[in-house]
Amino acid sequence: MTFAEFAQYLEQLEQTSSRLTLIDILSELFKVVKADEIDKVVYLIQGRVGPFSEAVEIGMSEKLVAASIARAYDTDKEKVLKEYAKVGDLGKVASQLASHPEREKRAEGSLAVNEVFDTLTEIAKTTGAGTVEKRINLLAGLLRVSDPISAKHLARIPMGSSRLGVGDPTILDAFAQAKLGDRKKRKILETAYNRTSDLGLIGKTLWEKGEKGITSLGVMVGRPIRSQLAERLPDAKTILEKMGGEVHVQYKYDGFRVQIHKDGDKVRLFSRNLEETTSMFPDLCEGAEKQIKAKSAIFDSEALAYNPDSEEFLPFQETTKRRRKYDIDAMAKKLPLRAFVFDILYFDGKPLIDLPLVERIAYLKKALKEDDVLIPQPGEVTKSVERIEELFNESLTKGLEGLVTKRPDSKYEAGARNFNWVKLKRHSAGELHDTIDCVILGYIFGKGKRSGFGAGSLLVGVYDDKLDEFVTVSKIGTGLTDEEWKEIKVKSEKFKVQSKPARVNSLITPTVWVQPKIVIEVLADEVTKSPTHTAGLRDAQAKVKSGEKAMGYALRFPRLVKFRSDKKPEEATTVKELLEMYKDQFKKI
């Protein structure tokens, strides 16, 4: 497949706001993609040159891409940047400059997708002296022989701003439709994806080995497993009843998820959104090398920053300062991490995720040496409401968030969010029992003092996992300082789009639409019914009697708590969770 042919499909994806149409377009694309191209096509759709688990990012800044465009089309970089300031999209600038007849003639022999992918990979891996110049030349060389549509999409990929609105479930649906004949067969693919976290691998295996090959894909050291997530319930009694009278209880830590992989002498770390973070946390790697009593193993843990002087754990905002690419060693000394290891998923060549939790905990106890970097959290099993409440209060006394309770006989269900795991968190009078993870969908220009900030309020939503779409739940105008409001526009700039993104369901039109990429944690007083927000609205429309008005759900008095860069948009609070919070919000622990 030529890149020009591929770009025509990207153009169609960009122009639709219907998820079903996205699936159809992708399915038609996948039907003509060959086995040696499918993984590369998928990675390029994701704006990458490999799975998220591989720390290979193209990572070119706007200025470097502008310089490449200028070199490709024999113009001045400042002119490119000036035009970019007008249209807000370097892809469109590249397309305009590629539109001259003489340049279009040069693009008649379009490069193959594989050639473009290989060149972008070379850009990503270029290091050392002359890196900047080499990257500019390589991208300019691709742009120089690209037609206008190809140039537009090619210029966006190195910046990670493809504007396609395609989520992982949508790609899996399209795989199923194209190769298995029915998108409802996505579950087969999803199970393998949750265990391997690599859509390119899923595609290549499906193309080469079919459905049988997909079912044979299992847990591998070095490939992150998608994290299991917890539901929420309001009190210990309800949790115990839900889980059949017996639960496994562990403390809930307010840090970031770290999946620890050991293979021989090599240790790798992965975040909950599947990115490799090994280089960021040398202290955790050193602890893993010393403490893991296995040749190969995978652990699930939560990492928190620790103040050795005061012997206390620090809040999430401090912990996130460790996620950085520079001054890593200095920050490791200033804010050392402790990883609380609460599960083991693989041990000396044996996958453990299908074992009951209590059996995995037995492996956990023997797989880690006691020390103060990786701290085992075996938890305890109880049938007592009073014991759960006692542990909950102990957790709060330690400055932690609460508890995570689990079915003792449950498997580790990669990528799942269900009532096998339930969190019990602290709350205050007049507030919901828990915070809500929302996704920014747009912003509305401010008035008065905020008119100079670029954003006066945010339109935010939650995730409808049944429909794979984002639905609105609130407008937020509080919780940020003046400086942070000014930063909102900067944070969302590369995700800004001209029309409502695909997979967004909204009755409200903000001043600026933003692709659902940025996750924030929100605190609110309650969940209330709303005629203007779309969370739960489709279900309501299906249930109301003729003549009644369907009502969605919204947050009352919402305020932004913090940004959650460790979470993917699809890991935001779901509509189902929101409905449970609506039902349970007035119950007390």
Average pLDDT over residues 402-412: 96
Q: Tell me the C-alpha distance between 166 and 178, whole Å.
A: 16
Using an 8 Å Cβ cutoff, are 480 and 560 in contact? yes
Q: Tell me the C-alpha distance between 322 and 416, whole Å.
A: 28
The pLDDT, as a whole number, for residue 346 is 97
State the binding site.
Answer: 257, 272, 302, 342, 417, 423
3-state SS of the chain: helix, strand, coil percent to 5?
40, 20, 35
Q: Tell me the C-alpha distance between 463 and 443, whole Å.
A: 18
Q: Name the band, by pLDDT with cuts 50, 70 and 90, for residue 347.
A: very high
Which DSSP letter does residue 323 get?
Answer: -
pLDDT in tens, 411-440: 999 999 899 999 998 654 345 667 899 999
The pLDDT, as a whole number, for residue 186 is 92
Q: Tell me the C-alpha distance between 414 and 191, whole Å.
A: 8
- Which tokens is 230 given? 């917890």
CA distances from 435 to 450, 483, 513 (A): 26, 23, 24
The pLDDT, as a whole number, for residue 548 is 66
State yes or no: pLDDT of 584 exceeds 80.
no
- The better pLDDT of the pair 522, 163 is held by 522
Which DSSP letter does residue 442 get?
Answer: E
State the distance between the two ends of the chain, measured CA to CA, in whole angstroms.
59
Q: How many CB atoms lie within 10 A of CB 351?
A: 17
State yes or no: pLDDT of 67 exceeds 90.
yes
Average pLDDT over residues 227-254: 92
Tell me whether residue 252 is one of the annotated catalytic residues: yes
The pLDDT, as a whole number, for residue 491 is 78
Average pLDDT over residues 460-481: 87
Which residues lie below 8 Å from residue 173, measured CB to CB, with a gap of 6+?
A: 23, 26, 183, 186, 468
Q: Tell me the C-alpha distance between 537 and 549, whole Å.
A: 10
Please give the radius of gyration of the chain, using alpha carbons only, rounded to the nearest integer.
25
The pLDDT, as a whole number, for residue 589 is 44
Average pLDDT over residues 236-256: 93
pTM assigned to the model: 0.80
What are the residues facing 313 on neighbouring strands? 306
Using an 8 Å Cβ cutoff, are 339 and 375 in contact? yes
**Which of 207-211, 522-526, 569-573 has the weakest average pLDDT?**
522-526
Residue 381 falls in which region: left (phi positive, over 0), alpha (psi -120 to 50) or beta: beta
- CA triple 484-517-449, angle to 5 deg: 25
User: For residue 478, with 0-12 CB atoms within 10 Å meaning exposed, 13-18 middle and 19 or more buried, which class applies?
Assistant: exposed
The pLDDT, as a whole number, for residue 104 is 58
Which residues lie below 8 Å from residue 195, measured CB to CB, with a gap of 6+?
A: 217, 218, 219, 225, 226, 353, 414
Q: Strand ranges (DSSP E) for 325-479?
A: 337-347, 350-351, 374-376, 380-382, 402-406, 417-425, 436-444, 457-464, 469-476
State the binding site for ATP.
Answer: 257, 272, 302, 342, 417, 423
Which of 357, 350, 309, 312 is closest to 333 using CA atoms? Answer: 309
Which of 211, 130, 127, 166 is closest to 16 using CA atoms? Answer: 166
Mean pLDDT taken over the chain: 88
pLDDT in tens, 363-385: 999 999 988 899 999 999 999 99
Using an 8 Å Cβ cutoff, are 174 and 183 in contact? yes
- The better pLDDT of the pair 392, 490 is held by 392
Domains of the chain plus CATH, in order, are 3-159 (1.10.3260.10), 229-425 (3.30.470.30), 436-584 (2.40.50.140)
State yes or no: pLDDT of 101 exceeds 80.
no
Question: How much of the chain, in percent, has pLDDT values that exceed 70?
Answer: 92
Which residues lie below 8 Å from residue 30, measured CB to CB, with a gap of 6+?
A: 38, 41, 174, 175, 178, 179, 203
Q: Tell me the C-alpha distance between 127 and 264, whole Å.
A: 28
Question: How much of the chain, in percent, has pLDDT values that exceed 90?
Answer: 58
Residue with tokens 């079915």: 407
Q: Name the band, by pLDDT with cuts 50, 70 and 90, for residue 556.
A: confident
- CA triple 472-478-483, angle to 5 deg: 115
The pLDDT, as a whole number, for residue 427 is 56
The pLDDT, as a whole number, for residue 455 is 62
State yes or no: pLDDT of 262 exceeds 90.
yes
The pLDDT, as a whole number, for residue 105 is 61
Pairing assessment for the beta strands 374-376 and 337-347 based on DSSP bridges: parallel
pLDDT in tens, 474-512: 998 776 677 777 777 777 887 888 889 889 999 999 988
- The better pLDDT of the pair 58, 80 is held by 80
Q: Tell me the C-alpha distance between 167 and 88, whole Å.
A: 23
Catalytic position from the list 152, 179, 252, 475: 252
The pLDDT, as a whole number, for residue 430 is 43
- Which tokens is 312 given? 């206390």
Task: Indicate the SS3 state at residue 117.
Answer: helix
The pLDDT, as a whole number, for residue 147 is 92
